[in-house]
Structures are given as structure tokens and as C-alpha cells.
Amino acid sequence: MSLFVIGDLHLSVEGDKSMEKFRGWSEYVQKLEENWNSLIKPEDTVILAGDSSWGMSLEESLPDLKFINQLPGTKFLLKGNHDYWWTTKSKMDRFFAENKLTTLNILHNNAVRVGDITVCGTRGWMLEDGKPADKKVTLREAGRLEASIKAADELGGEKVVILHYPPIFANDESEEIIEIIKKHGIRRCYYGHLHSDACRFAFNAERYGTRFTLISADFVKFRPLLIE
């Protein structure tokens, strides 16, 4: 039983938002499926760190969710900034059950233990322009991360944080998110969101005793990254 992570699949299986027009995304769905099937077994778990589908609603995202569902392993999905289909956890859980998406689960204000690892996380946020509204969203996301870590405390194991937005980018830090990571002694944090030239400014190193790792699909060559 192994644990993997990958972010930003940006699927549009039956839609018109294919990422193939962007550099580095040629035949990305085929590459993802081939790599996934070569790495992941039915007993494994994969964390999807946001931006999984371009669908604007649960119904529009269904072809993409079905594609993910048929891949090996149990999956836990976080929210990304482009997951417009995202709604309440209860509605998503019900939609998954109604459509027999039996390998899909939502990671939101909760945590999941896989072997010796307990995964917690949230979308996060970036203070790109410093507006008060951004600060409000950041505080809300920090609260969700705190709730997820609290849930992880009850499960035991090493707590690993998964975010969609980078908590560190270039010379900036999301202070509220970083403080929670520091307070709880998190040793590993994985994040997505960054693509193309932005990856040059990604922080892939250790700071404050935590190792930060970018796991956007194009950055990891559409190959889920083994955590444990």
C-alpha cells in the first residue's frame, strides 16, 4: 500500500478546454493514464491537489470524474482555484454515490490516514495584490487547514500537508498558512498551482524544518509522486 500525490490534472475529457495548446501539455491525458497505470495499484491511495476538472458544475465534471474513478487506487480530492464544480462536501459525496464514483473521496476540513501517514490540507491562497478580500480568504483557508490538522491529530501518524496554492512563492510567503505549518511541526508539505515559467520561482527546498515540494502535473511530467 503506497501513497502518491499529484495536482492540476486540468481534465476536460469531453469538453473544449484541453491544455494541449500550452507548452509541456502535449498528449497529457494519455501520459497521465499510462504513468498512473504503471505506478499505482488498486490498494494504493492518491491525493489530487486541486484543479482536477474544468467542469463548471458537478454534472459537467462527471466525464472527468469518471476518468479519475476508473484509474487504479483510492483518490482524495482537494479544491483548486479552477474547480468551479466544487460544492459542499455532502453534495459531492452524494453525487459520487449516485454516479458510482466509488474510488473518489473529498478532503475538506478532514484528514485521512494511509499507513503511517495522515494527510491533511486545504486549497490555501496567495496574496497576489494584498487586497483586504485576499486577507479574508487567507484567514478562512488557514482555519480550514487548522481544522484538518486537528482531525489528523485524532488519527495519529506523521501529518503531511497538501495544498493547492504554494505557501511560499519567489520572495513571498502566506504567513498565516506557514505559521500553522510551523506550529504543528509539519515536516512535509506538497503543493500545486504553478505551471510553465512560474515553476522557475517554485520553492522546492526545506525551510522552518519543513520540506516543500511542487507537484503540479506538468512539473512532475504527469507522473504521480510517491510520498510513502
Domain residue spans in the chain? Answer: 3-226
Amino acid found at 140: R
Distances (CA, A) of 53 to 6, 17, 50, 78, 189: 13, 10, 9, 11, 23
- Tell me, what's the pLDDT at 52? 98
pTM for this prediction = 0.95
**Beta bridge partner(s), residue 188:** 160, 211
Burial label, 129 (beta-carbon count in 10 A; 0-12, 13-18, 19+): exposed
- Tell me, what's the pLDDT at 228? 87
Structure confidence by residue, pLDDT tens digits, 142-166: 999 999 999 999 999 999 999 999 9
The pLDDT-based confidence of 72 (bands split at 50, 70, 90) is very high
Cα gap 145→140, rounded to integer Å: 9
Task: Take residue 106 and report the three cell numbers written for it.
Answer: 473529498
- Tell me, what's the pLDDT at 131? 66
Tell me the mean pLDDT in the region 71-81. Answer: 97
Q: Which fold has domain 3-226?
A: Purple Acid Phosphatase; chain A, domain 2 (3.60.21)
Structure confidence by residue, pLDDT tens digits, 15-30: 889 898 888 999 999 9
